[in-house]
Amino acid sequence: MTQPTILIVDDSPENLTVLGELLCDSYKVRAANSGARALELAALAPPPDLVLLDVMMPRMNGYEVLERLRAEPATRAIPVIFTTAMSATEDEERGLALGAVDYLTKPLRPAIVLARVRTHLELKAARDRLQHRNDALDHENMVAQDVTIRALARLAETRDNETGNHILRTQLYVETLARRVRGHPRFAAQLDERAIALMAKSAPLHDIGKVGIPDSVLLKPGKLTAEEWAVMKTHAALGADALARAETDALEPVPFLVYAKQVARHHHERWDGSGYPDGLAGDAIPLAARLMAVADVFDAMISRRVYKAPIPIDEVRAQMAEQSGRHFDPDLLAAFLEGFEDFREIARRLPDEPAHAVAAGAG
C-alpha cells in the first residue's frame, strides 16, 4: 500500500524538523519553509494527501496559501490543517471558513498531531473511494446513454436503410464544425467544451422522428407527391415531441435532451425562414440545429440514395456555397468551407456500404 504524502509548511526550521521526525516513520513528508515554496510542492504530482500549514509566516501567510490552494483545481481538494500559536476563536473561525479541516495550536503535542493526521487521512481516503465509485458509475451511465442514443438512431435507420454511416458522420461533422467556430464572437458564449460534447451527443437523434413515417412515404423510391412530402416533413416534430416526452418521464434532468430536441425539430429550418416545421429564421434557429443543417445537407449530397446518385464533391461545395445566407448561417458555412477537407476526410473514414457509397473521394 502506498504511503500517504504529507506537506508540512512552517517558516521555523525547528518546527519543520520536529514535525518531519514525528511523521516520517509512517508517511512520506515534503517540507516547505515559505508559502511560495508550499504552493510549488503542492503542485507536484502526485499531490500531497494532507497539508499541515502554519498560519503566521512572512510575505505569504497561511490564510493566503490556503486561498491559493483552493483556487487551483489540482489542489483544491487537499485537506489542510492549520498549525498556529494563535488561540483566538475568530482566528480559528477564519481558517475554517476558508476551508481548513482542522486547527492545531502550538506547542504541538505529538499524540494529538498523529491522531488528527490519521483521522483526516482516513476521511480523505474514504472521500477518494467514494469519488472513484461515483466516477465509475458516471462513466457507466455515460456509456449506457451513448449506446441507447446509438440504438435509437439505428432504429430510425432501419426504417430508412439508405443512410449507412450517416449518423456517425454527421455526429463528427457537428463536433468538428462546432470546434472550428467556438472562438467566433457570435458563437463563443454558446460553445464551451460541455456544450460541444452535448451537441455532438444529440446529433444522432436528428432523424429519430422517421420512425413515425409510413413505409409508403419513407421508402418510396421516386419523387414524393405534395401530400407525401407533407407527411415526410412531420418527422421533425414527431422526433422532438418524442424526446420531449422522454424528458418529462426522466426522474432527473438530462442535459443533452435540450439539444436533442432542438436538433430533431429544427435541423430542416433555413436561415432565410423558408424551412420547416416552424419557419424560423436567422438566430431564432437554435445553434445546434444550424450546425446540424450544414452537416445533414453535406452528407445527403455526397451520399447515394434510392432517388439519386452522389453529387460530385466540387459540385457539392459550389452548391452549398450558393446557399450562404439562404439555407445556412453564413458564418457557419464559411467555417465549413474553410475546413472542407476535414469534412471530406471524415466521409472517407466512414464510408457507406459499396452500394451506397459517398462521393467524398471524388473531385
Q: Is the pTM of this model over 0.75?
A: no
pLDDT band, very low/low/confident/very high, at 139 (cuts 50, 70, 90): low
**Cα gap 52→298, rounded to integer Å:** 60
Residue entry with cell 413505409? 215
Cis (ω within 30 of 0) for the bond into 204? no
pLDDT digits (tens, 9 = 90+) for 278-296: 999 999 999 999 999 999 9
**Amino acid code (one letter) for 146:** D
pLDDT digits (tens, 9 = 90+) for 44-70: 989 999 999 999 899 999 999 999 999
* pLDDT of residue 157 exceeding 70: no
pLDDT at position 89: 63
The DSSP line for 215-233 is HHHHT-SSPPPHHHHHHHH
pLDDT band, very low/low/confident/very high, at 216 (cuts 50, 70, 90): confident
Cα(first)–Cα(last) distance of the chain, in Å?
A: 61
Burial 80-105 (b: 16+ CB within 10 A, else e): bbbbbeeeeeebbeebeebebbbbee
C-alpha cell at 135: 466516477
Report the mean per-residue pLDDT for the chain: 88
Q: Name all domains of the chain by residue range, CATH numbers in brackets.
A: 5-132 (3.40.50.2300), 160-356 (1.10.3210.10)
pLDDT band, very low/low/confident/very high, at 363 (cuts 50, 70, 90): very low
**Amino acid code (one letter) for 203:** A
* pLDDT of residue 149 exceeding 80: no
* pLDDT of residue 362 exceeding 60: no
- In the chain, DSSP assigns E strands to 5-9, 28-32, 50-54, 80-84, 102-105
The DSSP line for 9-50 is E-S-HHHHHHHHHHHTTTSEEEEESSHHHHHHHHTSSSPPSE
Is the CA virtual torsion 23, 25, 27, 29 positive or negative?
positive
